[in-house]
Amino acid sequence: MAEIKYPTGVESHGGFLRVWFIYKNTRARESLGVPDTAKNRKVAAELRASVVYAIKTGNFDYQKQFPSSINLRKFGLASRQVTIGELYKKWLELKEVDLSANSLGRYRSRMKGVLLALGENMIASSIRTEDLIRLRNSLLTGTQQLGCGVKTEKVGRSVRTVNGQMSDLGAVLKFGHDNGYLPSNPMGNLKPLRKSKAEPDPVTRDEFLRIISVCGHRQVANLWSLAVYTGLRHGELCALAWEDIDLIAGTIKVKRNLTAVHEFTPPKTNAGTREIHLIQPAIDVLRDQAEMTRMAAKTRIEVVQREYGKKDIEDCTFVFNPQISAVNNRSGTYYSVSSIGQSWDTALRRAGIRHRKAYQSRHTYACWSLSAGANPNFIASQMGHTSAQMVYSVYGTWMNDNNGEQIAMLNQKLGEFAPSMPHKKTG
């Protein structure tokens, strides 16, 4: 039986024909999916010759010639006609196992505005860097350039919000590029907008006393007093239970948080799971609060752990129970983060104090502690930071503004240790 001679670049593989050629200095093989027959060998040779010619003349379109080829990803050509909306859904589906419900909610909220401005049906591979710059400008200024002119929205977004939205979009585009949906990542060289560093804006002692005095209920006054005395995050305050507190030792074990989507989770970071050492005013506040809620019924809750699919069941007697001050029977046994924020706004308005975000209660704790001479490492551990670097980063400027107070404290505490200097001899 005569040996079969194959044309150059044509070969048999498993009884079917395939062709090979050199593309970008690499040998590429493409199966044609047709039986190895004399007629098909001739057709394959003609196809291969046309491919080689197109490569030599610079007119070869790999994706058009072999649209289902696994080599497209190897050569960085595996762009597929998917919309940015479809690409975002694919990315989010894969991220779900890594994210909490609260984080997923934030992603969806931020991307909703992006997709609305960009257009969900825009082909992802058609997005260029100039499109992203135009999108960023429209989100920032509140205007959107349309085909028929300029559409003005009510208000633009903050730099922080826009940077967050563009960061999410960048993650989607990188996912598209890494998985062959995009030939390149148009976000690659686009840098975040510059933003001013937000300085802490703590309340003064006088303002604090005025805030506490106008709180509508004793429990609300206790809540904000404890917030300022401990630096607890607001989700940690809402989730605080009497089972976490030892008034004899003067400690609080922070081990859970309540998110904006009403889900109990561990604290924000691993460092957030901590033991807080209470100052005497905080202990006094908790003793006062114990008269109202310590003997309340336990509430069974589900705490979603960081490990995917893992949940713990806990029975908690919440320290701050809205049923104590409720005017109806519809309140639950713990506050939501949004509800305590509203009580802060109400108190500031009643006290006639300049508005600050409720999170300033946490900044107030840090600033007051620094003024009292507390070690930044101790403050960081109390607040749930990994290291004191966060304290220096956030409160560095504020600390410099209080150098006079620090000198006065050092004079008071170290002056008695200073050796007496000899008097100058006089003639």
**Residue 385 a catalytic site member:** yes
Distance CA 24, CA 47 (A): 19
Which member of 18, 177, 255, 385 is catalytic?
385
- Integer CA distances (angstroms), 217 to 9, 123, 283, 347, in order: 86, 56, 19, 11
**What's the distance, Cα to Cα, between the start and end of the chain in Å?**
130
Closest CA to 100 of 341, 309, 271: 309
**Residue that has been written with the tokens 């003349």 in this structure:** 57
Which member of 18, 41, 136, 233 is catalytic?
233
Which member of 41, 177, 256, 362 is catalytic?
362
Kind of pairing between the strands at 16-23 and 149-152: unpaired
**Residue that has been written with the tokens 């290291």 in this structure:** 387
**Residue that has been written with the tokens 């390149």 in this structure:** 184
Distance CA 67, CA 239 (A): 55
Residue type (1 letter), 403: N
**Residue 233 a catalytic site member:** yes
Query: Phi/psi at 312 (nearest 5 deg)?
Result: -110, 145
Distance CA 128, CA 86 (A): 18
**Residue 108 a catalytic site member:** no
**Residue 256 a catalytic site member:** no
- Are the C-beta atoms of residues 101 and 263 closer than 8 Å to each other? yes
Which member of 268, 294, 298, 350 is catalytic?
268
Query: Phi/psi at 33 (nearest 5 deg)?
Result: 70, 20
Distance CA 26, CA 44 (A): 20
**DSSP 8-state symbol, 124:** G
- Integer CA distances (angstroms), 321 to 240, 316, 318, 327, in order: 10, 11, 6, 13
Q: Give 30-66 as a DSSP string.
A: EEEEEE--HHHHHHHHHHHHHHHHHHHHT---HHHHS
**DSSP 8-state symbol, 181:** S
Which DSSP helix (H) or strand (E) runs through 276?
A: strand 274-277
Distance CA 138, CA 162 (A): 10
Catalytic residues: 233, 268, 362, 385, 395
